[in-house]
Structure 1
Amino acid sequence: MSSKIYFNTSGGLNLRRRATNLITRAYHKIAPSHAVKTARNLLLTPEKILKPSEQPEGMRIKTIQSSEGNLMTYALGKGPVWLLGHGWSGSASQFFPLMETIAAAGYTALAFDNPAHGNSEGQHGHLPGFVKGLEAVIDQEVDELAGVVAHSMGCTMVLESRHPKLVGKPMLLIAPVLNYRDNLYRMVDISGFSLRLFRDVVGEIEQQYQYPIDTVDTNARLSEHQGKVLIVHDMADRFAQIEQSRNANALNHVDLIETEGLGHSRILNSQAVFDAFHTISQSMASGHRISSISLQPFQVEG
């Protein structure tokens, strides 16, 4: 979905919202087929990152084939794989600094551009395509999976996948959207976009992939996961609601680190995330519970 809608958190009734609602409802009523086509391009075309992070030395770049088109993968380091999945309108390049940390710890950091994102093929992005892309990368590029790092919608992608190599693996979830379905409808409603038109666009994807949006229950998938989970989430995140992560913290296998002053995106390259990776990887190596290792809140000064 266009970031102008997907990341719209202004809320409330205003002239722009009312105008958007009237226009999209009228367009859908007058020319339904054309409206759906236009809406598909608007809602499912992600924005590109204009200034990607500098590529680390030694990065191995490879293109793989998938049902969603050719996907670009990026690998750094040697050893068991930590797989990284980005969110909407993101790219693998957002993980480059963290990948250096992972590689330095004796692992292979493997990231990829989701369909229609970064340097991968595709015009339209959506959750079923994300899951298909993830599973293609695992099938073709992962022999020994150590764990998973994901951000935002990438967390939903990872938890929604039923790939056997993900079972029981530790996960570092950064600013997860744990109420994906409800959050998506909330964002569309806040924008003023016609919900009926949105449902028609979603319906096409549901039919194509046999993947009803009403079956998406990220909280349930998280509770069912058999591996350790560490969440890093900023208290002032305007897109992914931290209350969802706080609720998840009640699960025995989930721990939460709260940050302050990092928001939804800057948190990716924060010391809090780097330290969280060391925490979860060390807990796996030692066999200790994550909660037995000190988890401190982080605050950005200045």
Structure 2
Amino acid sequence: MTPPTALGPPQDAHADGHLAAARHAFSTPERIAPTADERAALAAAEQAPLRHEGHKLARWTLGSGPRVVLVHGWNSRGSHLLGFAQPLVAAGFSVTLFDLPGHGDSGGHAASVVHAGRALRAVVADLGEVHGVIGHSMGSAAALLAFAHGLAVRRSVHLAGPSSLTPMVKGLARAQGLGPADAAAFAGWVERFIGTPIASVDLERLQHGLRHPGLIVHDPEDRTVPFAASEALHAAWTGSRLEPVSGLGHRRLLTDAGVIARSVAFVAEGLRP
């Protein structure tokens, strides 16, 4: 995989408005500030930022024991997964949260699932051995990409995540009203931006990394990431468990007590001999 030439936002003043909007939507996340409660919860857990591809990655660690890394989604931040942290710490784990490139307190202005996957691998390389990963939305997809490029864990949890990039790119093109020619131009731009063919981030090319047990949680009524993405992931992953939930949509998974409890219990099962 060839790294993109730059992580900054794309510049094309002559692009058609819809095409420019698609490029922006794909590459430029909204930077979300933490709440006062989130900042207070992480105040004593902050670590020195990790330098990665010319920018800093903000990160925090709580507790002690086998390591679990939490990976947030698009237009989010690590602190949005704090609901999982204290139950994991109580179960005997240490928990590392971090902000992906272009998100939260981390540097950069643009990102993608490919950038997120590389950032996750960099964080884990700096930490050492990791017991498990819990990823939401794009964070789940970033974990799939990291597993395919050598990241080994004992357990992972995937919350409402896309499993292939091709349908996401096509869906974004449709949402932005792109015709066939502009959709093809957009796909070509995406490949230049991420530095790899879109198909290389599809499930067929990633499933060889799925060597450990996985828990997949998704609401069939999710309007952001289709439930079919998790069905496809489950079908391709022999060691996976798919658990549909109801009434939680795309983001309320992160604060639902039942989802949190099931996720922590599943990760903890990996500690048994």
Distance 1:178 1:43, change over 3 A: closer
- 8 Å CA contact retained: 2:149, 2:209: no
Contact conserved, 2:159 with 2:216, CA < 8 A, in 1?
Answer: yes
Paired residue type of 1:123: H
Number of the residue aligned with 1:283? 269
1:148 and 1:172 in contact (8 A); partners too = yes
8 Å Cα contact 1:83/1:148 also seen in 2: yes
Q: CA deviation at 1:35?
A: 8.9
Relative distance call for 1:138 and 1:198 in structure 2 (3 A) is: farther
Return the TM-score normalized by structure 1: 0.75
Q: Relative to 1, partners in 2 of residues 1:171 and 1:261: Cα closer, same or farther, differing over 3 Å?
A: same
- Displacement after TM superposition at 1:151 (Å): 0.6
Asked if structure 1 preserves the Cα contact closer than 8 Å seen for 2:102 and 2:110, the reply is yes
Which residue matches 1:80?
A: 66
CA 1:79–1:207 in 2, change beyond 3 Å: closer, same or farther?
A: same
Could you tell me which of 155, 158, 165 is aligned with 1:170? 155
TM-score by length of 2: 0.82
Could you give the per-residue CA deviations for residues 131-178 of structure 1, whole angstroms, max 9, x where no partner exists?
2211221122x22211111011111111112443x2253111111112
TM-aligned CA deviation for residue 42 of structure 1 = 5.1
Classify 1:263/1:241 alpha carbon distance in 2 versus 1 (closer, same or farther; 3 Å): same
Aligned with 1:266 (options 233, 248, 252):
252
- Three-state SS of the structure 1 residue aligned to 2:270 is helix
Q: Number of paired residues?
A: 257
Per the TM alignment, residue 252 of structure 1 is displaced from its structure 2 partner at its CA by 2.9
How much has 1:203 moved relative to structure 2?
3.7
Query: Residues 217 and 41 from structure 1, CA distance in 2 versus in 1: closer, same or farther, beyond 3 angstroms?
Result: closer
Residue 175 of structure 2 aligns with which residue? 190
Matches of 1:258 and 1:35 in 2, distance apart? Answer: 35
Of 38, 44, 56 in structure 2, the residue corresponding to residue 54 of structure 1 is 38
Q: Map 1:287-298; keep pairs closer than 5 Å.
A: 287=273
Q: Which among 221, 229, 240 is matched to residue 225 of structure 2?
A: 240
**1:154 paired residue number:** 139
Alpha-carbon distance, 1:219 to partner: 5.5
Alignment of 1:62-211 (within 5 A): 62-140=48-126, 142-161=127-146, 162-164=148-150, 166-193=151-178, 196-197=181-182, 200=185, 203-204=188-189, 206-207=191-192, 210-211=195-196
Within 1, Cα distance between the matches of 2:218 and 2:193?
34
Is the CA contact 1:95–1:268 (under 8 Å) kept in the aligned structure 2? Answer: yes
Unaligned runs of 5+ in 2: 1-11
The residue matched to 2:245 in structure 1 has which SS?
strand
Decide whether aligned partners of structure 1 residues 151 and 38 sit closer, same or farther in structure 2, where only a CA change above 3 A counts: closer
Aligned to 1:3: none
Deviations 1:115-145 (A, max 9, x none): 11111111111122212211221122x2221
Alpha-carbon deviation of 1:33?
9.4
Cα deviation, residue 38, structure 1: 7.3
**Gap change, CA 1:223 and 1:280, over 3 Å in 2:** farther
**CA deviations over 1:224-265 (Å, ceiling 9, x no partner):** 410000011112111112133234434430101211111101
Post-superposition CA distance 1:1-44 (Å, at most 9, x none): xxxxxxxxxxxxxxxxxxxxxxxxxxx9x934999777644542
Are the structure 2 counterparts of residues 172 and 42 from structure 1 closer, same or farther at C-alpha, using a change threshold of 3 Å?
A: closer
Percent of aligned positions that are identical: 25
Once residues 210 and 248 of structure 1 are traced to their aligned partners in structure 2, the CA distance between those partners, rounded to angstroms, is 24
Say whether the 8 Å CA contact 1:71–1:115 is kept in structure 2: yes
Distance between the aligned counterparts of 1:143 and 1:111, measured in 2?
15
**RMSD between superposed Cα atoms in Å:** 2.8
Alignment partners' CA distance in 2, 1:131 and 1:249: 20
Q: Deviations over 1:172-217 (max 9, x none)?
A: 1111112332123113212314565565455455346531112211
> What is the distance in 1 between the residues matched to 2:250 and 2:259?
12
Which residue does the alignment assign to 1:255?
241
Structure 1 unaligned spans of 5+:
1-27, 288-302
SS at 2:47's partner residue? strand
